[in-house]
Amino acid sequence: MTSSTSLFIEFALEKKVLQFGDFLTKAGRKSPYFFNLGAFNDGESLKRLGEFYANKIIGTKIEFDMIFGPAYKGIPLVSSASIALSNKDINIPFAFNRKEVKDHGEGGSIIGSKIKGRVLVLDDVISAGTSINESYNLIHGDGGQIAGVIVAIDRQERGENTLSATQEISNKYSIPVISIINLEDIIKYLETTNGYKKELELIKKYQNTYGIT
């Protein structure tokens, strides 16, 4: 586990983005942990979050022309990441979508840069893949191509079959889907940090039940 991975987990714990307890997931599973990117809800947190995304974007070496954030959580992600990238002398256009198409003013469903070329999608987590499927339709409908997807966390649990949601999206669109951290990273962190024995046991049990092989 890299130092950047540890720093992101510590950041998520500090801001209570990563929480432990009893949570019901979108898939109807009772999970012993929950990751809520919306809890990065102040200026300093958003700045640091953008830097984590920017560093991951640069590290992947994915070739792209712009970044796109699915409404709603993707909106602050592309905003903060584009600023962080510009601080590294990488000036990249960004866009995000409205949930409802606007029929007055500038109209349409896209805010920001015009969709063009290779588009890198930034999101928080892929659950059922709904927002990525919608993003694909929007981007390709406007003449662009999805270059890849970067999310904060990969829960690494099975979807309807043996693959995880991120693997399903990667296979469906033949694109890289990359996360800043994943469940294995969280487990490794808890194994080397005092005070999380109970949480670690519950997460490992959950992983044995729903994790990908």
Answer yes or no: 102 catalytic: yes
Smallest Cα–Cα separation from 199: which of 24, 17, 191, 185?
191
d(CA 149, CA 172): 12
Other residues' Cβ atoms within 10 Å of the Cβ of residue 86: 12
Is there a cis peptide before residue 33, judged by omega within 30 degrees of 0? no
Task: Spot the catalytic one: 16, 26, 30, 102.
Answer: 102
Angle between helices 183-191 and 3-14 (to 10 degrees): 90
Taking alpha carbons only, the member of 36, 3, 32 closest to residue 20 is: 32
Q: Which residues are catalytic?
A: 102, 104
